[in-house]
């Protein structure tokens, strides 16, 4: 399995706008080209502050995990 990770820190809920969505799409295409994968790619965000719902985040992001999700018993 190939994992591709990008790390960003933000104190407020992260916002995916049109420009950042284009960056994410480009990264997915580069990943596809390099790995030659035909499999579906899912984007997940692990975040402290969450992800602000936008038309771009709802279209692109499959899963959002917060620290509460990771450390909940």
Give the count of beta carbons closer than 10 Å to the beta carbon of residue 16: 22
Give tens-digit pLDDT for 5-56.
Answer: 566 677 889 899 999 999 999 999 999 999 999 999 999 888 888 899 999 9
Residue 72 per-residue DSSP state: -
Nearest to 52 by CA among 70, 64, 68: 64
Closest CA relative to residue 20, chosen from 32, 11, 10: 10
pTM exceeds cut of 0.95: no
Phi and psi at 47, nearest 5°, equal -145, 150
């Amino acid at each position: 399995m190939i994992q591709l990770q990008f790390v960003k820190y933000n104190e407020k809920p992260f916002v995916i706008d049109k420009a950042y969505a284009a960056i994410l799409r480009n990264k997915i295409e580069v990943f596809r080209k390099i790995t030659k994968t035909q499999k579906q790619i899912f984007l997940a965000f692990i975040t402290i502050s969450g992800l602000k719902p936008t038309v771009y985040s709802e279209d692109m992001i499959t899963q959002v995990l917060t620290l509460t999700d990771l450390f909940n018993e």
